[in-house]
Amino acid sequence: METRFISVKEQIDVQKELAKPFQSLLAEKELLANVIECFPYPIQIFSIDGTARMINKATLDLIGIKSREAHIGIYNVFKDPIVIALGCVDKIKQVLAGKTVYLTDFNASYPDMIRYFDVVDRDIQVISSDITCFPLLNAEGIVEWFAAIFIFKKIYKGKEEIERGKQYIQSHWLEQYDADKAAKAAYLSKSHFIKLFKNHTGITPHQYYINYKIDKLKEKLLDTNISIAQAFSACNMDYSGHSARLFKEKTGFSPSDYRKYTNK
């Protein structure tokens, strides 16, 4: 089978679509906060001086930020030493003129994040992502806040065994979870793999598999051209009983409520 690579234009088209749900929500701060929290991709909202005003759980988890209290009202993207070192400040500031800004292959050193910010000390070397920054306009058409959506492309870890196990899970998420095969892909015994995986990620391989599967289901639910049952089916999940309960347990929303809030 021929491998198809996504062009830069296609990546930007995807990023534009992700921004749409937020364009008209600035006047409704509570609703905006709810939509952001259940959004399947990491997202942050900033005031025009660059100070963080909202952040969702996906961002906290993927970046390793310890708490909202350590970030909201404290972190400033324009003063971030990593952003400054990568030479991105001026480009990001173009959003203040009403432009949508695309940052591709934003490679942030995780040891630097630990050095500068209150993040979890994890076995990660580099987080690679594409970032879309777009303005949020008030009723007068003036930029009041701006948003940044992160599409994480790769998280480079120091432990190759864990990375191999993750890659296996990500490649076989449509199948039933098989602990023996996941451990074999990592070249470890099952017990050692589970212990090492939890030490480095904070969760078991099976929990990682469930979370990954739920994230894929979230993506499918954003597509209103298919029914909720079809979204579940596309993820090899049954839209009844356990799977629906599991989704609500993980997200705090029923599948129908999740679709309702993310597509407003």
List, in order of start, the domains of the chain with CATH numbers. Answer: 8-157 (3.30.450.20), 160-262 (1.10.10.60)
Rounded Cα–Cα distance for residues 162 and 30 (Å): 39
Least confident of 124-128, 132-136, 148-152, 166-170: 124-128
How confident is the model at residue 137, as a pLDDT?
A: 85
Position 4 pLDDT exceeds 60: no
For 135-156, what is the mean pLDDT?
85
Strand ranges in the chain using DSSP code E only, listed in sequence order: 43-47, 52-55, 101-109, 124-137, 143-157
Tell me the pTM: 0.55
Rounded Cα–Cα distance for residues 184 and 52 (Å): 42
pLDDT tens across 219-237, in order?
999 998 999 999 999 999 9
The backbone torsions φ and ψ at residue 165, rounded to the nearest 5 degrees and listed phi first, read -65, -40
Query: Quick check: 49 and 89 in contact, CB under 8 A?
Result: no
Q: Is 98 left (phi over 0), alpha (psi -120 to 50) or beta?
A: left
Rounded Cα–Cα distance for residues 143 and 126 (Å): 32
For 179-196, what is the mean pLDDT?
86
Instruction: Return the bridge partners of 76, or none.
Output: 51
Write b or e for each residue in 154-184: b if 16 or more Cβ atoms lie within 10 A of its Cβ, otherwise e: ebebebebbbbbbebbeeebeeeeeeeebbb
Position 40 pLDDT exceeds 60: yes
For 201-207, what is the mean pLDDT?
90
User: Between 23 and 142, where is the model more confident?
Assistant: 142
Q: Is 118 left (phi over 0), alpha (psi -120 to 50) or beta?
A: beta
Q: How many angstroms separate the first and last alpha carbons of the chain?
A: 38
Query: Quick check: 142 and 135 in contact, CB under 8 A?
Result: no
Structure tokens at 245: 């309960």
Q: What angle do CA 197, 201, 203 make, to 5 degrees?
A: 75
Sheet holding 143-157, edge to edge: 52-55, 43-47, 143-157, 124-137, 101-109
For 157-178, what is the mean pLDDT?
88
pLDDT tens across 71-110, in order?
999 999 999 999 999 899 999 999 999 999 999 888 888 8
Hey, what's the torsion of the CAs at 55, 57, 62, 67, to 10 degrees?
Answer: 70
For 126-134, what is the mean pLDDT?
88
How confident is the model at residue 148, as a pLDDT?
A: 94
DSSP state of 177: P
Neighbouring CB atoms inside 10 A of 70's CB total 14
User: Which of the four pLDDT bands, split at 50, 70 and 90, describes residue 196?
Assistant: confident
How confident is the model at residue 87, as a pLDDT?
A: 93
